[in-house]
A and B are shown apart, each in its own frame.
Chain A
Amino acid sequence: MKISSSLSDAAAAAAMAAAAAAATWMLSSGRIGAGATAAAAALFALAAILFARREGARLAKIAAVLEAVSAGDLDTRAIGLGERGPSGRLALAANGVLDRFEAYAREVRGVLEAAAQSRFKRTIRPEGMLGDYRVYVDAINLATGRMAEGEAAVSAMIGNIDKQVVETIDGVSTLTTDLVNAAETMAGITTSVDTDTEAAAAAANEAYASAQSVAAAAEELHASINEISDQVARSSVATRDAVSRMSQTREVIDRLGAAADEIGQVVSLIGDIASQTNLLALNATIEAARAGEAGKGFAVVAGEVKNLAGQSGRSATDIAARVATIQTVVRDTVAMIDEVSAAIGGMDQTTTSISAAVEEQTAATREIARTIAVAAGQAEAVKGRMNSVEASVDQADVAAGAVTAAAALMDETLNGMRKQLTKAIRTSSDFTNRRKGLRRAVMIEGEVIRAGAQIRDPASGDRYPTVLNDLSEDGAMLAAPPATSWPVGTQLSLRIPSERIEVAATIVADSGGMLHLAFAGQPLSSEQVDRISAVTVPRMLNLAKDDHRAFVARIADALAGKSTIAPASLSTHHTCRLGKWYDNITDDRLMGLHAFKTLLEHHRPVHKFGRDVLVALAAGKNDEAAAAMRKLEAASVQVVAVLDQVATDFAAVLSRK
């Protein structure tokens, strides 16, 4: 500030004042001599001269001030000129003009700067704004009011777009998630169909093979049965032959028996005759004896006859005995033949029934063979069809794989798009980007406390522990409290105890579970924000590593049967701590890192394989579960490596700054 005053000016004023005072004293003291009057007049004249000179110098100063003002310097003032006399009054008036104008101009600058930052509550207070100033002030206040309305409208619109973008993308990404799930399920089904078909084909194959061998066996059986049947037939003919021969023999023997009987009768007749002859011979002998000599010859004959008769009788007895023997033999033979005949007859019956049975068996075997041939044919057909099923299942599998890959890619693209869009919308203009400072990624615990809340009551719902995702000098983004009682416009205070930060803030936006705060009053220092980011990003990356190791351990426990986890209860690569953090990062320093960009593609499989393990376990497919577990372990190692890389690269970026 240039102040127009000078010491010589003050000295002149003092001299002038002294002269005038002396003259006045002389005049007023009543010593009114001519000399005195002359002296007083001289003093007055001196004072007048001094006054005129001083006034001239002061006016020149005031003129210089006004010239500076007309050259655009509002800061300058005329000081040290007192307040009396024409020049004093002029200086006061000039300063007064400037004071009002500069006060007004500074108000205008303040209000317009505030408007440029969308702080429309900053208006010009009308107090002290006089006359024309008041008119200008009213016009400015009216304009900022309109701007506030406009901003509110644009803000609401952008909030809407933001919300819609988030919702649309969320919707689509739910769809893709569904799609991925469907594809995965399909892949699961096809895998099981695949194994089922393989099993069926194998079974059909086996069935076919065994049918073949059964058929062969049946064929053999059939052949041997036929043989048996032939043999039986042959033996039954032989039997029947034997039977007829037996009955012939029987007849012969019967006739033999009858002949023997007849012989017997003849023999007994002979015996009778012989005994009668003997009697006659006896009589004759007696007669012959009476007749003496004449009868002597006769007696001899008679004796002879008697001998003969005796002989005949004995022969007859002998024959009878023999006939009896024959008869006994005949009877025995007959009995035996009868028995044999009966046996043969029985045999005949047996062979008949055998051959009937054989006949039946043959038919049955033939039927079996036929059926088996059909079955084998069908098994072959099944096998053929199974092969084609297998082929189409393979195709379906490939398709499912393609769908999964496409959906995953889409998911990634969408996620990237969401981040880009959200970022684009949020930072597209100063209107919407309420943040002047660069958003730095952080991961730090904090707490929001509703303005006016009884903060000592933790259960009031007016106090909520949260985690900050990004931070800048004048704002932050953090995980939103679950309740809807924290709408946009809510005023609160944000505490970060570990950093001893407590700032007043307003919720300026809410995007998908994230609250955006604008700090009121004092901004944080850039050094502090930088330091928090530098310290907490590596901490987040370490947490993420631990999280994923724990995740793998949990799945391993489930695989070992130590616990059961429902696949649905498993976190996804969007819902785990890393995922949530990652999805909401808008820090260019991180987003620009190659490792950070690849994080998603390495992170996703960890959760996918984890789910695969559980799904396979639930289906009782332990081999598959074990295979997925191996993939999970490999993927987890990958993610940990990428997280390490991100940490290294981020540190490098920070040190380069």
Chain B
Amino acid sequence: MAETRPLTGVERMLGKDDIIVSKTDPKGWITYANQVFLDIAGYAENEVIGKPHNILRHPDMPRCVFKLLWDTIQAGEEIFAYVINRTKTGDHYWVFAHVTPTFDGSGTIRGYHSSRRAPRREAVDAAAALYRQLRQEEERHDSPKDGLAASAALFNRQIVTQAGTYEDFVFSL
């Protein structure tokens, strides 16, 4: 993370019809961020291009969600996720993200694309509650590896319990 200004607890809201778009290289380094992205996150274009995408990472996000995200997109599949991001100033905002791989002519992944839209409030509340649980699980363990495994297992079970598949779960929120 480029800058670590303290969190303000202030939430910023994405406009109802806005779409945040960003693109990365296969490693997750930002190659494009649209104006909506820059406006809400409070960065200038040249502050984000060439930076890793985790400059937006908010500490409330469980690691297991990003693991699922990367596992999925690296397997060439799309994924939807509710994500809380931090702005340059330490504010935060929630998005409903759709992350997809970009393939070259031979079918290999040459980058990723993410479009994010405004989530419904109830979905944010549900995701926030779940993420709190998962974060707690991750912090309960001494080794990060164990924490990740434990939260991933809990995540799986919660998904199964609430909806069956992750996709159903995301769309049910």
Contacts and interface: CB of A to CB of B under 8 A. Distances in A.
B166 A99 contact: no
Interface in A101-142: 102-103, 106-107, 109-110, 113-114, 119, 121-123, 125, 127-128, 130
A504 interface: yes
Nearest to A82: B45
Nearest to B101: A106
A600 B94 CA distance: 61
A531 interface: no
B165 A107 contact: no
Contacts, number: 124
Contacts of B145: none
A100 B19 contact: yes
A127 B104 CA distance: 29
Contacts of A506: 164-165
Contact of A106 (B71, B100, B120, B156): B100
Contacts of B119: 127
B98 A103 contact: yes
B157 interface: yes
A493 B160 CA distance: 6
B31 A1 contact: yes
B54 interface: no
B111 interface: yes
Given A128-B17, A520-B166, A79 B160 contact: no
A570 interface: no
B165 A504 contact: yes
A400 interface: no
B121 to A, nearest CB: 12
Interface string B6-18: 0000000000111
A83 B32 contact: no
A520 B170 CA distance: 12
Given A452-B161, A520-B165, A521-B166, A80 B45 contact: yes
A122 B115 CA distance: 16
B153 interface: yes
Nearest to B39: A83
Contacts of B45: 79-80, 82
A75 interface: yes
Contact of A125 (B32, B71, B96, B163): B96
A631 to B, nearest CB: 51
Interface in A332-383: none
Contacts of B66: none
A493 B21 contact: no
A106 B23 CA distance: 13
A110 B100 contact: yes
A320 B138 CA distance: 169
Contacts of A113: 78
The 4 A-B pairs of least Cβ separation, nearest first, read A520-B165, A491-B164, A128-B117, A103-B115
Given A102-B115, A107-B115, A522-B71, 6 more contacts: A82-B45, A113-B78, A127-B118, A128-B17, A506-B165, A520-B160
